[in-house]
Amino acid sequence: MRQIDRPRNNGVYSRKIYEYVKYKRALGYKMEDVEERLSRFDKLATERGESGNGISRELAEEWCKPLPMESPYNRYGRISILRGFSAYLQVMVFESYIPKLPKQASTFCPHIFTKAEMANIFRECDKLHLHRKYTRSLKIRLVGHFAW
């Protein structure tokens, strides 16, 4: 992880990005690729001639457009990072637009246990040894959860 000690470039948001990343790291966040992504945002803002006082809706919408060959997951992350930075700017008393996150199709596929699988689960649960001091443990809660 690269720790920054000064702004990466001289764009219109470079000082604010530096302060944002420094602030978030002080709170314990890793911010591993955030600085890189926001420096690309800063480059776009500079190319567009933005003032750097806050993020306009037009600038945010330009940044949020899907890139060629970009996965929905990557786009979601890019927009999420901009949302965090924009919210930070609002806290710092700048008028800044926070873009909405795109809807993501759920990849969740529920697993419906067969009777044989449930029998195996209960057979394994029966092998657990219960000690009095662990009656509130996660194991016992899981067994109770499956029993209901």
The domain ranges of the chain are 14-91, 115-147
pLDDT surpassing 50 at residue 1: no
Q: What mean pLDDT comes out for the span 17-22?
A: 94
More confident residue, 4 or 111: 111
Q: Given this model, what pLDDT does residue 44 score? A: 95
pLDDT surpassing 60 at residue 2: no
Judge contact between 85 and 38, C-beta under 8 A.
Answer: yes
DSSP-derived secondary structure letter, 24: H
pLDDT for 86-143, tens place per residue? 999 999 999 999 999 998 878 888 999 999 999 998 898 888 776 666 556 555 555 5
Neighbours of 130 (CB within 10 A): 11
107: which 2 tokens? 């990849």
Question: Helix H segments across 28-100?
Answer: 34-48, 57-64, 72-91
What whole-number distance in Å separates Cα of residue 78 and Cα of residue 72? 10
pLDDT for 69-101, tens place per residue? 999 999 999 999 999 999 999 999 999 999 999
Q: What is the pTM of this model?
A: 0.69
